[in-house]
Amino acid sequence: MTDPASRESPGTGLTDRVLELVRTDDPRTGALLTALIRHLHEFVRETRPTPDEWRYGLDFLARTGRALRLPPGQGQSGGWPAGARRRLAC
C-alpha cells in the first residue's frame, strides 16, 4: 500500500485541500495558518512518522502548551517563554 503523502508533490493534493479549509478575515492569521500547514505537511513527508510517533509528538506539543500557560494576571505573553517573546518582538 502506498502512503498518500508519497504520491503528492509539494503544494498539491492533500496540502491544497487542507489549505482550502482555512477561513479567516484576518490576513495575518491566514498567512500563519497557511505556513503552519505547509511546514507540517512537509515535515510529515520528510520524516514519515508512524501513527504511534505522530500521537507521541502531538502529546508532546499538548504537554508543552500546558506547561507554558501562565496563571491569570501573569502578563500578556500567553505563556510564551522569554526567549521566544524576545525573538518575536524583533
What is the SS3 assignment for 18?
Answer: helix
Residue pLDDT, tens place only, 26-40: 999 999 999 999 999
Q: Is 70 within the bounds of a domain? A: no
pLDDT value of position 1 = 44
Contacts with 30 (C-beta within 8 Å, 6 or more apart), sequence order: 22, 24
Q: Is 75 within the bounds of a domain? A: no
**The three cell numbers locating residue 3:** 502512503
Low-confidence spans in the chain with pLDDT less than 70: 1-12, 70-90
Determine the Cα–Cα distance for residues 38 and 18; give it in Å rounded to an integer.
9
Domain carrying residue 16: 1-64
Look at the chain and report how many structural domains it folds into.
Answer: 1
pTM above 0.75, yes or no: no
Q: Is 79 within the bounds of a domain? A: no
pLDDT value of position 16 = 93
With cell 518575536, the residue in question is 88
pLDDT value of position 72 = 62
Closest CA to 89 of 76, 73, 70: 76
